[in-house]
Amino acid sequence: MFAVLQYSFIQNAFIASFFVAIVAAVIGYFMLVRGLTFAGHAFSHVGFAGAAGAVWLGINPLYGLLTFTIAAAIAIASIGKQYRERDVPIGIIFTLALAFGVLFLFLYNGYAEEAYSILFGTILGISTQSVLITAFFSLLTIAAVICIFRPLLFSSVDEEVAKARGVPTDKLSILFLILCAITVSVSVQVVGVLLIFTLLVGPAATAMRLVKGPYKAIGLAIVFGLLYSWAGIFLAAQTNLPVSFFIATLSFAVYLPVRFIKT
C-alpha cells in the first residue's frame, strides 16, 4: 500500500505539501481573524495571471506567481488603508489580473496542460527545484510571522486599540498582505487557483470552531492541513484522480459536521 513512497515525484509531493500545509494554516488563521478571505481569493486569481505569463515566457510559473501576487499585495495595501476600504481596490485588481491571465493564455502556444495545472494544481509533477523554492519561501514566511506574532495578533483582534498603543498597524498590514501573497503562490502548486481556499481557509476555520486561543487553533489547523494534503496525495496516487479533489473533499467533509455541531 505504501509502495508509492519509493517514487521521487511522490516524495517531492509529500515534502512540498508539508511546507505548504503549515504556512497556509498559519496565514489562514490570521486571514480569518483579520477578515481578509476575499483578499486571499483575489491573490489566487492574480497569481493565475502571473503563472500564465511565466508559462508564456517559458520560465517557472512560481516566479510569475510570486511577482504578481506580491505586487498586488503592495497595491492593495497602498490603495486601501482600512479593511473596509479594500474590497473595491481588491475587486478592481482581481478583474484586471484575470484579463491579463486570459491574454497570456491566448498568446501561449504550448500544451494546454501547463494552463490546466495552474488552475487545479500540479503537486504530483512538482520538481525538486520547485520543492526547494517552496520550502524556502514557506520557512521565510513562517519566520516572519513568528517575529511579528504578538503585534500582528493584537492588531488583528482590535486594530484601533493597537494603533493607540503605538503598534505600527499600517506597516504590519502591508507586511501581512505580502506574506499572504507568498503563501498563495506556494499553495497554488498543491490545489490550484480555483481551490486555494481549501488549504487557506478550511483547516483554520475548522480548528477555530473546535478550540479557543490562537496557539491551539493554529496548531490544530496545521494538523488538519497536513492530514488533508497527505491523504489527498496518497488517494490520488492510488486512484489516479486529482489531488486537489481529495483535499477539497476531505476539508469539506470535516468542516461541515463541525460547523453544525459547534454553532
- Summarize pLDDT for 219-261 with one digit per residue, the tens: 999 999 999 988 988 888 888 888 888 888 898 899 888 888 8
Please check whether residue 95 is in contact with residue 208, taking contact to mean a CB–CB distance below 8 angstroms. Answer: no
Nearest CA to 251 out of 217, 221, 218 is that of: 221
The string of pLDDT tens digits covering residues 134-175 is 889 899 999 999 999 999 888 888 878 888 888 888 888 889
Question: What share of residues in the chain are helix, strand, coil (percent, to 5)?
Answer: 85, 0, 15
pLDDT one-digit tens code per residue, 33-45: 888 777 777 787 7
The sign of the CA dihedral 17, 191, 45, 159 is negative
- The helix or strand, by DSSP H or E, that contains position 94, with its residue range, turns out to be helix 87-107
Domain layout of the chain by residue ranges: 3-261
Please, are residues 192 and 232 in contact by the beta-carbon 8 Å criterion? Answer: no
pLDDT in tens, 3-32: 666 777 778 888 888 998 999 999 999 989
Helices (H) and strands (E) in the chain, counts: 13, 0
Q: What is the pLDDT of residue 5?
A: 66
Q: What's the topology of domain 3-261?
A: ABC transporter involved in vitamin B12 uptake, BtuC (1.10.3470)
